[in-house]
Structures are given as C-alpha cells and as structure tokens.
Amino acid sequence: MNYPIKKKKIKKNDHYANLGQTLESDLELTNQYYLNNNIAVIHKKPTPIQVVDVSYPSRNKARITKAFYRRPSTTDFNGIYKGKYIDFDAKETKSKTSMPFANIHSHQMNHLIDVKKHGGIAFLIVAWKAYDEYYLITIEDLKPLWESFLNGGRKSIPYTFFQEKGHMITFSYIPRLDYLKVVDKLI
Amino acid sequence: MNYPIKKKKIKKNDHYANLGQTLESDLELTNQYYLNNNIAVIHKKPTPIQVVDVSYPSRNKARITKAFYRRPSTTDFNGIYKGKYIDFDAKETKSKTSMPFANIHSHQMNHLIDVKKHGGIAFLIVAWKAYDEYYLITIEDLKPLWESFLNGGRKSIPYTFFQEKGHMITFSYIPRLDYLKVVDKLI
C-alpha cells in the first residue's frame, strides 16, 4: 500500500532551524561561545541523579540500571566573568500574563540570595514563549516579590514586572542569548 | 548451622567513626559548615550521567532504567567566598612517593587554568592517604609541571613537591577540612 507521503512543512525562517529549541540548549551554546572566545567560564551543572543499581557488563563501562532524578540543591548555571562569580537559573513560561512562583524552588531562591550576600551576581533568565522574549531579572529586584509571596502575597510574577524591572536579552544566531551584555550594565 | 559471628573490630578513635571516610564526603561536610555559618557558598557538582531510558511507573517519579556515567567537563567543586570565585577538584592517592598525572583529566587542568585566567582562585586538594595529609596546591604552582608533562616530562607529581609548594590543610572534627583558611593566605 502506498500511503501519500506528507510533504515536510517548510518553516518560516528555516535557516534558523533548531534555534530557540529550548532555553537550556540556547544557554549552553551561548556559554560555549563565551568559553571559546575567552569571555567567561560558565557551565551548566549536571542534573542530579540518585543512582540505586549499577551493573558491570564490561570492564570499562558501568551501566546504571536503576536511578532517580533528584531535586537540585542549587541553580543550574554558574561560573566566572571578569573576575566576578556569576550564578543563575533559567525558566520558561508559556503564560502571557505571569510566571508562577511555583516554577521556582525555594532552595534556588535562597541560593541566589546567598550568592548575592557573598558578593556574586545572581539572577534568573526567563523565556516568555508567548512573546519570544527573554529577560534577565536580578535577585535584588526579585527578592521583595518573593518575600511578599512567602508571606501570603501574590503567587506569581506579572509580565509587566519583567517589562519594568527586567533586562531584555536579544536572541541572535551567535551567540544565542548574549546575557553577559546585560551583566556588563549591572557590574 | 551456626557459623561463628565475627566480633566487630573496634576501631581506635571510635568516636571519630566516619571521619576521613572519603575526601569527597569530608569536603561536602566542610562546605555545609561554610554554608550554615555564612562563610562561603561552595557546592559539589552532581556527577554527570547520560540518561538513555526512563520509565514512568507512577505519575510522580520517573525511573531511569538505563544510563551511563559521563566524563565531567569541569572540576567537582565551585562557588563563592569573600566575593571571589573558587574552583577546585579533589584527588586521593595511596602512593607514598608521587601522584600520577593520569589521575587528573586534561580538561580539568584546562578548566582550572581558564578559571585562573579570568581572575578566579583555582586549585587541587590532594589527600595523601599513606600520610593522612591533605594539601591544597594552586594551579599557578602546578602549571609548570603540567606543561612539562605534556611535553614528555615527568608523568607524576612528587610528594616532595607538595611539601615544598603545597599548603597543608588541617583535618579536624568541625569543619573537617578547613581549606578556606589556606585560601585566606592566597587572596
């Protein structure tokens, strides 16, 4: 039987294929660019995994047969830029109006607050998928909302707050998300 | 059949049980102490694992059924202390005479060299099990030996080099390995 072969839909901007696939991979490409060009040394931390069982089918390669994802105790990204300690997490939202605090673990917020206290540069990078916009928001700016949330206040961060307090990051081909351009203004 | 039950051997210093079990866990306890006492924010990175298969026996908990350990692309520990970026790896050796460079991945050395170049504090902490001694050795001090090794020179770092150039870290109950005391002398 010959089923009709569906013609592959040609996307708008096909030369931009794979662009903006996920915020995480865009940030990893950006960090690779920073590293290759001697701009900064910033890496994503591996996902924490609790290994339960391992088998050794061959001498060289242990095979994990049972494991579970663990909750990260810090943020995903950290490193050094111009002698400064940089620490951040990346979040995506599909909402058009607000990002729920439920998306951010409290230990991540506490970690960013700690980093700031010790003289580091701490922030979130948030992708607003509905608008194709990326914002860097510092922990200093976020902290009052977070504290209000902990005390029973608003459960989410409104989009307008990002427009007012956030710093927009431009999406481009190389580097994908040049967030250090924003950091330059902060330091 | 009743097999004779072996009496558990009582260790010398039993109240120090679990002390010095592994360098890594001693460093994690030390970092926890630094964090709890507002001294520094330094964490061990999770071990990188390549996940191949995942099953979802229940809605809440994904179970990894096939995965492999990956080679880390950086060092194990990093964080911030007195506004400075700190980065290091921990190594153990049972040798009495020298630690082979084979114990150190080249990408880890390159990473530490990069960190130093960008203004961070980069080093190794090496446990000499045969002597129960712990040394911090900076990447600046290690770099000439490493470069000589890459050019066909000596394949290991002699113990005497640690005695001359290294900074001894005292092992104690709390904190286990107060390496920031050495860092204080470096900054």
| H-state helical runs in chain A | 23-36, 106-117, 139-150, 159-165, 179-186
Is A67's Cβ below 8 Å from some Cβ in B? yes
Strand order from edge to edge, sheet including B167-169 = B40-44, B77-81, B84-93, B121-128, B133-138, B167-169
Residues 107-146 (A) with a CB less than 8 A from some CB of B: 111, 114-115, 117-120
Check whether the bond before B175 is cis (ω within 30° of 0): yes
Closest by CA to B103, choosing from B155, B45, B167, is B155
Q: Under an 8 A CB cutoff, do B79 and A83 touch?
A: no
Spell out, as residue ranges, where chain B has pLDDT lower than 70. 1-21, 59-60
Mutating which of A35, A80, A114 best tests the B interface, going by the most B Cβ atoms within 10 A?
Answer: A80
Supply the pLDDT for residue B21.
65
Check whether the bond before B158 is cis (ω within 30° of 0): no
Q: Under an 8 A CB cutoff, do A63 and B68 touch?
A: yes
| Closest approach of A117 to chain B, Cα-based (Å) | 9
- More confident of the two residues B20 and A15: B20
Say whether pLDDT at A114 is over 70: yes
Q: What is the pLDDT of residues B121-152, one digit of tens each?
A: 999 999 999 999 999 999 999 999 999 999 99
Say whether pLDDT at A21 is over 90: no
Record the tokens describing residue B61, joined without a space: 């908990």
Q: Are residues B80 and B41 in contact, defined by beta-carbon separation less than 8 angstroms?
A: yes
| Closest approach of B160 to chain A, Cα-based (Å) | 32
Q: Under an 8 A CB cutoff, do B118 and A61 touch?
A: no
Give the integer Cα–Cα distance in Å for A114 and A107. Answer: 10
Contacts with B41 from chain A: Cβ below 8 Å: 111, 114-115, 118, 120
| Cα nearest neighbour of A42 on chain B | B115
Average of per-residue pLDDT values in chain A: 90
| Closest approach of B33 to chain A, Cα-based (Å) | 14
State the pTM of this model. Answer: 0.87
Share above pLDDT 90 across residues of chain A, in percent, rounded to a whole number? 82
Q: Under an 8 A CB cutoff, do A118 and B40 touch?
A: yes
- ipTM, 2 decimals? 0.86
Supply the pLDDT for residue B8.
43
